[in-house]
Chain A
Amino acid sequence: MAEGASNQYREVTRDHLEKFGADGLRTLCLAYRRLTAEVYESWNEKFIQAKSALRDREKKIDEVAELIEKDLILLGCTAIEDKLQEGVPNCIETLSRAGIKIWMLTGDKLETAINIAYACSLVNNETKQFVLNSDVKEIRDIEDRGDAVMTAQAVSSLVKQRMEEYLDEAERVADDVDMALVIDGRCLMYALDPLIGRGTLLKLCMLCKAVVCCRVSPLQKAQVTTLIKDDAKKITLSIGDGANDVSMIQAAHIGVGISGQEGMQAVMASDFAIAQFRYLKELLLVHGRWSYIRITKVVAYFFYKNLAFTLTQFWFTLYTGFSGQRFYDDWFQSLYNVLFTALPVIVVGIFDQDVNAKTSIKFPELYKAGIYNLFFKWRVIMLWLVGATYQSLVFFYFPISVAQSAQNYSARMLGVWDVSTLAYTCILMTVNLRLMMASSSLTKWHLISVGGSIGGWFVFASVYSGIQVSFIQENIYWVMFTLLGTWFFWFLLLLVPVVALSLDLLVLLFQRWFFPYDFQILQEHGKFDSDDYESRTLLDHRPSTVEEQRRIQMAQLPKERSKHTGFSFDSPGFESFFAQQSGVPPPAKSWDIARRASMKHPRQSTGRKSRH
């Protein structure tokens, strides 16, 4: 900025900027400078050179830009209302109930960012804020002296010192309050440096409920994401709607782009694209959660069914003199995974739901099961595998017992291929039934696929047994028909699945009764508990006294207790700024009156003064 006449406006403009920011408006400063044609031409040459430089292009462009962006005369500032999308505060609140930590990375200035954070319910009045601002008077003074090295040192030492202070304080009060960290882009640059503050930053961020980074460049957005992804080893999701969010979206584990007015760059770089921010709630809590459940179920089931199938064959090798004779016919073995057990798994993987979409959103805490990886812990997997081992013993020894004596009234003996086909049929029935047992909801596709797989097996085996081709070994010729005419076959087909599944069923029943998962409680609730959920709170006791009931109702009103209005728009604060400017007092709102009425009653158990 040029010295001289415009100086008088600087302070006033800065003041205005802060006020705008406090109201959550996005501010822009306007300044101008007159150029002559020669000055422009000579500068343009340098600029073109810098643009086509092969090395350090960014740096050269910056340097050339510095040459012309000086001695500007301040005109003033503007403020734009960038309305929050509808449903954003609700969405953020729900997601934090789900155990997801939410950070805001924006290019706006500090006050705007803080205000928007209040508007989104990222922070509230009870949150302890740690602010790391580099735009303070001391730093500005050093900067005005023009020494870049000194400025850098000053900011760096400020960052280091403050962060350590904050970390100490945070560790002391971690269990009592929610904390939020607000950090400036320039401070972030030093904080991300491993020598200065990276470790401290990481620890502090992990303790905070929310982190707001303002004045961050797109590169810094990506750096912050990488900080959590690589150093803290957490799963990160980035959501953004503009081209400046692309690097952040690509850096995170999951990138979500919002398609909208700012163009499609974010969408094109992302893994998922949604139309509005609030759809993130459904994306994560409904589809993300279902996806987790489905994947864990399908993967565990796949290992189980192949283990059961293969271990049965393994027990057979003990009886073949360890010669490696296969138990099942080659075609049956190849088609096990491809034809006879594939469809039901696909259907479960697509359609399985433990609770329906509405319930998933009503109870975001269900999402924590995925965060803690409850369904894929080793003990869960081991249960499946132990079940598979037990079942393989049943699958082998029950049919084999049948091989010891004659099989039907015709008294002819069954050979090895008859026994193995009998075992195979039992295995198919059992693993498909096991899948149905593990599913939470059965649609008609489940029944079609299971019925189709088993029916398809009978058809296939009959066809295979009925044809006689010379170039393959005719082991299975007529085997299926022999089996179908044997009482043992049908009796074993009824007995073996029951015996095999009984262990899994018992374990399931015990777990469901004594250690139910949350979603299982909800499944029961949907059917049996007739309470109307809308009116209940999730306290562990019903409010008994009039006082408690009133407290609950008050708390459900929008919170309006601080200088930060909590809402940038449609809010008394917004109106009152301009109203104040023109000397008109704002009208009283109904919640205001209710709030004032509630002040008459003493607050309980927090021990802290409330801020008005």
Chain B
Amino acid sequence: MATTANAATTTPGSAIARNEVKPQSQKPIYTRFSQQEMHACKPLMTPARIVAVFMTVGVVFIPIGIATLLASTSVVELVDHYGHACLDNSAAQVNQSLRTREERISFIKNPSNPKNCTRTIRILKLMKQPIYMYYEITNFHQNHHRYVKSKSEPQLQGQQASPEQLKICAPEDSVGGQPVIPCGLVAWSFFNDTYSLALNNGTSVPVNKKGIAWKSDMDKVSSTVYASNFQNNNPSAYIGGGKLPVDSPLRDNEDLWVWMRPAALSKFRKLWGRIERDLYPGDELQVNIQNVYNCFSFNGQKKLVLSTTSWMGGKNNFVGTAYLTIGLLCVALAIGFFFMYYSHPRPLGNTKQFSWNNEKQVKQRGFQSTQPRTILR
């Protein structure tokens, strides 16, 4: 508590008066903070303001929606389901026909079977370069808990990881006493379909495979790390995906880093390469696919996607549609609220509406007290 002491000097020259002090006041110091009287903005939702706010939101959102929708619709995207068809094609090459899932699984697992096929993609609209190639997989839970944590950062950063540290990669942590580099399920299930493109007139379309991974993903990895003991050649070992070259640093293998970034949903696409030439309507793209990745075990599908990009990214109508819808909804709400306020006016700050002046409200609100009183008799 603050105390204020006042020295009373009523008569000059009076020694007693000069020594006298008034009794100390116990009153606390007045500040706006301690008395809770700080300057405050008390935004009040009046009809005018509400209508104005909704209109503003609508007016701001509609152009954004249109712009993003235009960007999204300007993206050309071609999708080709090749998983099953490609395998049936390969099976036909060796005079087998695959009907059941088990047959497909055993066919694709057999290393002596041919796995390539050629798919034709017809270009209908002009696609300006760069055109991006993605592979899309469905029903593959890269966001599964055990899967996501199954990799070893210390190992990838070039440290000598102890077997305890590698336990997180189990069961892909070591083979025959030797640690697997890179360990873990994520690397083990490395996607290894390859595609080579050619136009129908025979010219090959080069695919640039540099710069497909996020640079930050690659920076995380030390350049001294090389693959070793990875998907080793023991034929009875359970192979999950592609093999890695043992002579180049792991860091340079951009496909691996694209794969190692876990996707959010079970249906995802990942960047495979970049085509740096335009494709014109009427072109027919011949894609020669090495269809080695076994997606039948998890009942998934494989697709190849060709897509251009806009300033926004790939083809995604959702954002544009959402903005446009919300914008229109806000404008509609503004108009609706306007009519509501117009048809059901309520004088603001009307004290007649107090619940204690209004018996009906007292009963409505479920008050237990049953003794409403007017102030005067």
Q: Tell me the B349-377 residues at the A interface (CB within 8 Å).
A: 349-357, 365-371, 374-377
Q: Do A523 and B44 touch across chains, with their CB atoms under 8 A apart? A: yes
Q: Tell me the B189-223 residues at the A interface (CB within 8 Å).
A: 212-214, 216, 219-220
A337 near B: Cβ within 8 Å? Answer: no
Report how far A208 CA is from B39 CA in the complex, Å.
Answer: 43
Knowing A320-B141, A477-B216, the reply to whether A416 touches B263 (Cβ < 8 A) is: yes
Report how far A60 CA is from B130 CA in the complex, Å.
Answer: 105
Report how far A412 CA is from B216 CA in the complex, Å.
Answer: 12
B99 near A: Cβ within 8 Å? Answer: no
A409 near B: Cβ within 8 Å? Answer: yes
Contacting residues, chain A, for B319 (C-beta < 8 A)? 401-402, 488, 491-492, 495
Specify which of A319, A363, A415, A491 is in contact with B261 (CB 8 Å cutoff). A415
B82 near A: Cβ within 8 Å? Answer: no
A482 near B: Cβ within 8 Å? Answer: yes
Specify which of B132, B142, B159, B368 is in contact with A406 (CB 8 Å cutoff). B132
Q: Do B44 and A527 touch across chains, with their CB atoms under 8 A apart? A: yes
Q: Do A409 and B310 touch across chains, with their CB atoms under 8 A apart? A: yes
Task: Looking at the assembled complex, report how far the CB atom of B130 sits from the nearest CB atom of chain A, in whole angstroms.
Answer: 8
Contacting residues, chain A, for B353 (C-beta < 8 A)? 516, 521
Bitwise, A398-416 to B at CB < 8 A (1) or not (0) is: 1011111111111111111
Q: Do B269 and A521 touch across chains, with their CB atoms under 8 A apart? A: no
Knowing A351-B38, A512-B45, the reply to whether A372 touches B266 (Cβ < 8 A) is: no
Q: Which stretch of B144-152, B226-234, B282-290 is in the interface?
A: B144-152
Report how far A527 CA is from B44 CA in the complex, Å.
Answer: 9
Q: Do B149 and A99 touch across chains, with their CB atoms under 8 A apart? A: no
Task: Please give the number of chain B residues whose Cβ is less than 8 angstroms from any Cβ of chain A in the complex.
Answer: 93
Report how far A509 CA is from B336 CA in the complex, Å.
Answer: 12
Report how far A443 CA is from B42 CA in the complex, Å.
Answer: 9
Q: Which stretch of A81-89, A321-329, A448-456 is in the interface?
A: A321-329
Q: Do A473 and B149 touch across chains, with their CB atoms under 8 A apart? A: yes
A441 near B: Cβ within 8 Å? Answer: yes
Task: Looking at the assembled complex, report how far the CB atom of B134 sits from the nearest CB atom of chain A, in whole angstroms.
Answer: 8
A579 near B: Cβ within 8 Å? Answer: no
Q: Do A537 and B376 touch across chains, with their CB atoms under 8 A apart? A: yes
Report how far A523 CA is from B46 CA in the complex, Å.
Answer: 11
Q: Tell me the B23-43 residues at the A interface (CB within 8 Å).
A: 36-43
Q: Do A372 and B368 touch across chains, with their CB atoms under 8 A apart? A: yes
Q: Do B145 and A325 touch across chains, with their CB atoms under 8 A apart? A: yes
Knowing A405-B316, A491-B68, A509-B337, the reply to whether A413 touches B154 (Cβ < 8 A) is: no
Task: Looking at the assembled complex, report how far the CB atom of A311 sits from the nearest CB atom of chain B, in whole angstroms.
Answer: 17
Knowing A320-B141, A443-B39, A538-B351, the reply to whether A412 touches B316 (Cβ < 8 A) is: no
B315 near A: Cβ within 8 Å? Answer: yes
Closest B residue to A517 by beta carbon equals B355
Task: Looking at the assembled complex, report how far the CB atom of B85 sits from the nearest CB atom of chain A, in whole angstroms.
Answer: 23
Specify which of A351, A356, A407, A538 is in contact with B314 (CB 8 Å cutoff). A407
Task: Looking at the assembled complex, report how far the CB atom of A478 sits from the nearest CB atom of chain B, in whole angstroms.
Answer: 3
Q: Do A491 and B42 touch across chains, with their CB atoms under 8 A apart? A: no
Report how far A606 CA is from B219 CA in the complex, Å.
Answer: 90
Task: Looking at the assembled complex, report how far the CB atom of A183 sits from the nearest CB atom of chain B, in whole angstroms.
Answer: 22
Bitwise, B317-333 to A at CB < 8 A (1) or not (0) is: 01100110010000001
- Which of A492, A506, A539 has the largest count of B CB atoms less than 10 A from its CB? A539
Q: Do A440 and B42 touch across chains, with their CB atoms under 8 A apart? A: yes
A-B contacts, CB under 8 A, total: 251
Contacting residues, chain B, for A235 (C-beta < 8 A)? none
Q: Do B349 and A404 touch across chains, with their CB atoms under 8 A apart? A: no
Q: Do A442 and B348 touch across chains, with their CB atoms under 8 A apart? A: no
Knowing A492-B319, A521-B349, the reply to whether A487 touches B45 (Cβ < 8 A) is: no
Specify which of A326, A524, A551 is in contact with B44 (CB 8 Å cutoff). A524
Contacting residues, chain B, for A561 (C-beta < 8 A)? none
B-side interface mostly: loop
Closest B residue to A408 by beta carbon equals B313
Report how far A353 CA is from B37 CA in the complex, Å.
Answer: 10
Q: Which stretch of B2-10, B90-98, B112-120, B338-346 is in the interface?
A: B338-346
Knowing A411-B314, A495-B323, A518-B355, the reply to whether A319 touches B39 (Cβ < 8 A) is: no
Q: Tell me the A92-140 residues at the B interface (CB within 8 Å).
A: 99, 126
Specify which of B266, B333, B371 is in contact with A175 (CB 8 Å cutoff). B371
Contacting residues, chain A, for B344 (C-beta < 8 A)? 513-514
Q: Do A409 and B309 touch across chains, with their CB atoms under 8 A apart? A: yes
Closest B residue to A419 by beta carbon equals B264
Q: Do B351 and A442 touch across chains, with their CB atoms under 8 A apart? A: no
Q: Do B375 and A539 touch across chains, with their CB atoms under 8 A apart? A: yes
B239 near A: Cβ within 8 Å? Answer: no
Specify which of B57, B264, B309, B346 is in contact with A403 (CB 8 Å cutoff). B264
Contacting residues, chain B, for A326 (C-beta < 8 A)? 145
Closest A residue to B374 by beta carbon equals A539
A357 near B: Cβ within 8 Å? Answer: yes
Knowing A403-B268, A412-B213, A473-B153, the reply to whether A499 touches B348 (Cβ < 8 A) is: no
Report how far A516 CA is from B344 CA in the complex, Å.
Answer: 14
Contacting residues, chain B, for A411 (C-beta < 8 A)? 130, 132, 271, 274, 307, 309, 313-314
- Which of A415, A488, A508, A606 has the largest count of B CB atoms less than 10 A from its CB? A415
Knowing A495-B319, A539-B374, the reply to whether A470 touches B159 (Cβ < 8 A) is: yes
- Which of B154, B216, B319, B351 has the largest count of A CB atoms less than 10 A from its CB? B351
Q: Do B348 and A405 touch across chains, with their CB atoms under 8 A apart? A: no
B301 near A: Cβ within 8 Å? Answer: no
Q: Do B349 and A526 touch across chains, with their CB atoms under 8 A apart? A: yes
Q: Tell me the A514-554 residues at the B interface (CB within 8 Å).
A: 514, 516, 518, 521-529, 536-540, 551-552
Specify which of A406, A523, A540 is in contact with B352 (CB 8 Å cutoff). A540
Report how far A365 CA is from B148 CA in the complex, Å.
Answer: 59
Q: Do A403 and B265 touch across chains, with their CB atoms under 8 A apart? A: yes
Task: Looking at the assembled complex, report how far the CB atom of A379 sits from the nearest CB atom of chain B, in whole angstroms.
Answer: 10
Q: Do A525 and B322 touch across chains, with their CB atoms under 8 A apart? A: no
Residues of B near any A CB (own CB < 8 A): 36-47, 50, 57, 61, 64, 68, 130, 132, 134, 141-149, 153-154, 157, 159, 212-214, 216, 219-220, 258, 261-271, 274, 307, 309-316, 318-319, 322-323, 326, 333, 337, 340-341, 344, 346, 348-357, 365-371, 374-377
A-B contact pairs, 23 of them (CB 8 A): A175-B370, A319-B265, A320-B144, A351-B38, A400-B264, A405-B314, A405-B315, A406-B314, A412-B271, A415-B261, A416-B148, A441-B40, A442-B40, A444-B39, A470-B153, A478-B216, A486-B313, A495-B61, A514-B344, A518-B354, A525-B351, A540-B374, A552-B376
Q: Contacts A409-B313, A529-B348 given; 19 further ones with Cβ under 8 A?
A: A320-B143, A320-B144, A323-B146, A325-B145, A356-B37, A400-B265, A402-B318, A405-B314, A405-B316, A408-B309, A411-B307, A411-B309, A413-B258, A470-B153, A470-B159, A508-B45, A525-B351, A528-B348, A538-B375
A-B pairs, top 5 by smallest CB distance, nearest first, are A525-B349, A478-B216, A406-B314, A405-B314, A529-B349
Residues of A near any B CB (own CB < 8 A): 99, 126, 174-175, 316, 319-321, 323-326, 351, 353, 356-357, 363, 365, 368, 372, 374, 398, 400-420, 440-445, 468, 470-474, 477-478, 481-482, 486-488, 491-492, 494-495, 498-499, 502, 506, 508-509, 512-514, 516, 518, 521-529, 536-540, 551-552, 555, 605-606
